[in-house]
């Protein structure tokens, strides 16, 4: 079974970054959403970006996660965190994503919340706009659009007809990685709650186990 690449979302410390880098994460996510326990200040984000830049050779790409963020706030987040990708985790439209890409010259991960088969219909409209789609569970709370530890019915993905760069998210953990890959064929996985010991606190052992499981397929 081929391996899946991993994005560890919601890192908060240089030690979290080090574990992700050494274990072979392809992406790390920094959350910029004040209602989240994983929210980073611009100062912490800048320190993490400097820490990441001190690595030579292969290192995870940085993703700045935002939710319906306006241009001035986005500008500040991008200057502080210097991301490779902006993850759009709100109700951003394809036109809004195109404008962000053009203005800030960053790659885009667009999160789509999946609850029923019809939620997959919009995927193809992102084909030439998003660099990656992140297919996540539909959150029950309008306050917290992601990072809730809930999964969606992976069988829905049998009718997926969108772009080839997509990652599976929602409720993943070291124990269900193998099943998730075999049921969905996902080549990339995103996780936050499933590698935490408490809300917003990454567990380094779980991060290593998750990435190892994804490598085994």
- Residues in contact with ligand LARABZUK by CB under 6 A are 9-10, 29, 31, 33, 36, 38, 65, 67, 89, 136, 144-149, 169-172, 190-194
Give CA–CA dist 94/149, Å, rounded. 26
How many residues would you count in the chain? 217
- Backbone φ, ψ for residue 131 (5° rounding): -85, -30
Q: Terminal CA-to-CA distance of the chain, rounded, Å?
A: 5
β-partners of residue 9 are 29
102 vs 143, beta carbon nearer ligand LARABZUK: 143
Q: Which residue lies nearer to ligand LARABZUK by CB, 52 or 191?
A: 191
Closest among 74, 49, 70, 68 to 59, alpha carbons compared: 49
d(CA 87, CA 169): 13
Instruction: Specify the residue, 16 or 190, whose C-beta has the smaller distance to ligand LARABZUK.
Output: 190
Nearer to ligand LARABZUK, 37 or 56 (CB): 37
Residue 148 C-beta: closest distance to ligand LARABZUK, Å = 6
Distance of alpha carbon 4 from alpha carbon 7, whole angstroms:
10
Q: Which of 92, 190 has the CB closer to ligand LARABZUK? A: 190
- The residue among 129 and 137 lying less far from ligand LARABZUK, judged by its C-beta, is 137
Minimum gap (Å) between residue 8 Cβ and ligand LARABZUK: 8
Query: CB-based contacts of 40: which residues, under 8 Å, 6+ apart?
Result: 12, 30, 31, 32, 48, 81
Provide, rounded to whole angstroms, the least separation between the CB of residue 21 and ligand LARABZUK: 18
| Partners of 109 in the β-ladder | 87, 132
Please report how close the Cβ of residue 57 comes to ligand LARABZUK at its closest, in angstroms.
Answer: 26
Pairing status of strand 201-202 against strand 196-198? antiparallel
The token pair at 14 is 């240089």
Residue number with the smallest Cβ distance to ligand LARABZUK: 147
Instruction: Provide, rounded to whole angstroms, the least separation between the CB of residue 159 and ligand LARABZUK.
Output: 22
What is the CA angle 29-30-36, rounded to 5?
A: 115
Beta carbon of residue 150, minimum distance to ligand LARABZUK (angstroms, whole number):
6
């Amino acid at each position: 079974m081929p391996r899946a690449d991993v994005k560890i979302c919601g890192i908060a410390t240089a030690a979290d970054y080090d574990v992700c880098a050494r274990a072979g994460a392809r992406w790390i996510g920094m959350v910029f959403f004040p209602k989240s326990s994983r929210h980073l200040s611009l100062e912490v984000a800048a320190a993490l970006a400097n820490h990441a830049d001190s690595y030579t050779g292969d290192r995870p790409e940085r993703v700045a996660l935002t939710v319906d963020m306006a241009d001035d706030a986005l500008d500040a987040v991008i200057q502080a965190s210097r991301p490779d990708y902006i993850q759009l985790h709100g109700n951003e439209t394809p036109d809004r994503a195109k404008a962000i890409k053009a203005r800030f010259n960053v790659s885009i991960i667009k999160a789509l919340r999946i609850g029923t088969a019809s939620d997959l219909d919009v995927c193809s409209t992102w084909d030439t706009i998003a660099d990656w789609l992140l297919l996540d569970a539909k959150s029950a709370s309008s306050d917290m659009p992601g990072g809730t530890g809930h999964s969606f019915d992976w069988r829905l993905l049998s009718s997926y007809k969108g772009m080839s760069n997509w990652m599976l998210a929602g409720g993943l953990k070291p124990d269900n990685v193998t099943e998730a890959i075999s049921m969905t064929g996902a080549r990339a996985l995103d996780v936050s709650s499933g590698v935490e010991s408490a809300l917003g606190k990454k567990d380094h052992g779980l991060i290593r186990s998750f990435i190892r499981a994804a490598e085994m397929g």
